[in-house]
Structure 1
């Protein structure tokens, strides 16, 4: 009952301010103030104020908020400890990175057994890299 009375008084005061604003020929601002002033009455009519009022003075609701806060605190603490240790979830085994069955299977083979490939001499490999760079620089006029 008290919450409904307070909301009604706030709405009445807001509508009075909107009327004064409209009297000063600021109709857009008056319409906006009237819209804000009607929100508390609408909340009272839908029952949201009664629910909020009952929740605010309910010991069970406050205990529930306390339990939710404790759960959040535990979650954030474990996340901080996990990040400080190095990230992975090593204790559960689900987040571990496992090596491939044959790690070198996907790597290209550079040995003599390759068909059709001729190995480059090491002395010209470095010179080829610089010749490409020189060609690019000459192309751009540098």
Structure 2
């Protein structure tokens, strides 16, 4: 009962504002305000407001919302864990995507690309320790790719 009264008051106030706006010769804005003002009355007349009021004060409805929240948390948690681990099916899809991106015959294009310039000379990195040689392998691969 209170919700219906509040909605009616809001609609009446909105229609009053729309009338003042129309009096100021701003008819487009007045029509838009009137449209917004009629929405609460329409919701009251269709019974949506009563249903929402009954739902808001229902213990069973709030328990249902809590169950939905727990379900959402479980979905979100499992997705986060799956992403962190990599997921078996996602790895397979990722491998298939990278296989599609790789050229079919990479060696066939190599002579055409390298024929226009002389072979590049580069200094080899001297390893400082036993497993330091792996440290520069990524850098060397990038330099090779760009012909440096």
Displacement after TM superposition at 1:86 (Å): 1.9
More helix by share: 2
Once the two structures are TM-superposed, the CA of residue 79 in structure 1 deviates from its matched residue by: 1.3
**TM-score, length-normalised on structure 2?**
0.61
Q: Return the alpha-carbon distance in structure 2 between the equivalents of residues 37 and 133 of structure 1.
A: 75
The aligned counterpart of 1:2 is 2
Query: Is 1:12 the equivalent of 2:28?
Result: no
Q: State whether structure 2 residue 70 is matched by structure 1 residue 70.
A: yes
Task: Summarize deviations over 1:83-124 as a string: whole Å, max 9, x none.
Answer: 1112226xxxxx896xxxxxxxxxxxxxxxxxxxxxxxxxxx
| Offset, 1:130 | 3.9
After superposition, where does 1:9-88 map in structure 2 within 5 Å?
9-88=9-88
Residue 129 of structure 1 pairs with residue 129 of structure 2: no
Larger radius of gyration: 1
CA deviation string 1:59-89 (max 9, x = no partner): 0000000000001101111111111112226
Alignment gaps of 5+ in structure 1: 90-94, 98-124, 135-142
Q: CA RMSD in A?
A: 2.6
Q: How many residues align?
A: 101
Any idea what SS the aligned residue of 2:88 has? coil
Change (3 A) 1:129 1:22: same
